[in-house]
Amino acid sequence: MNNYEQRPIEILLVEDNPGDVKLTREALKENKMANNLHVVGDGEQAMDFLHQSGVYVNKPRPDVILLDLNLPKKDGREVLAEIKEDDDLKQIPVVILTMSQSEEDILTSYDLHANCYITKPLDMNQFIHVVKTINNFWFSIVKLPSK
């Protein structure tokens, strides 16, 4: 259905919780589409990765970003705002994936042009279901920008 079936999908996960990283990795592994999951643990690393600076010089541009809101060093809200104001980065879809259910976080994220906002389920099976649904929607239904 889209061009991305030809090469692995590059996903950047910005997440500081090792348990959630592990679950996301497992859920993505089961998926039928080949994907490379890149993980960074804080907001500064996320921006370095996206700007391919320092140790990230050879890293690919992600097709989709999964972004937690509560992160060390640089907050997810700041990362989101920077991405969506940057002409070279703003076209990359950003999926907010967070524990926060606060209305303020939901509204702020959409106002900052998050592509969608998803609350992490506490239940492990539900979590895996959510990651699989994200994967299926963004990689087999949606057309991604191919810059």
Partner 1 sequence: MTDDSTMRPVDILLVEDNPADIRLTREALKENKIVNTLAVALDGVEAMKYLHKQGKYSKVTKPDLILLDLNLPKKDGREVLAELKQDNNLKRIPVVILTSSQAEEDILKSYNLHANCYITKPVDFDQFLKVVNAIEDFWFTIVKLPPP
Q: Give the separation between CA 108 and CA 6, rounded to whole angstroms.
A: 35
CB of 112 to partner 1, least distance (A): 9
Find the binder of partner 1 among 10, 74, 121, 128 (CB under 8 A). 121
Can residue 133 be called a binding residue for partner 1 (CB under 8 A)?
Answer: yes
Find the binder of partner 1 among 6, 57, 58, 111 (CB under 8 A). 111
What burial class does residue 111 get, using C-beta atoms within 10 Å of its C-beta: 0-12 exposed, 13-18 middle, 19+ buried? Answer: exposed
Can residue 106 be called a binding residue for partner 1 (CB under 8 A)?
Answer: yes
Can residue 69 be called a binding residue for partner 1 (CB under 8 A)?
Answer: no
CB atoms within 10 A of CB 90: 13
* Rg of the chain, C-alpha, whole Å: 14
Query: Quick one: tokens of 101?
Result: 């259910």
Q: Give the separation between CA 47 and CA 50, rounded to whole angstroms.
A: 5
Can residue 103 be called a binding residue for partner 1 (CB under 8 A)?
Answer: yes
Of 28 and 42, CB closest to partner 1: 28
CB of 130 to partner 1, least distance (A): 6
With contact defined as beta carbons under 8 Å apart, do 58 and 29 qualify? no
Task: List contacts with partner 1 (CB under 8 A).
Answer: 1, 84, 87, 90-93, 101, 103, 106-107, 110-111, 113, 115-119, 121, 126, 130, 133-134, 136-138, 141-147
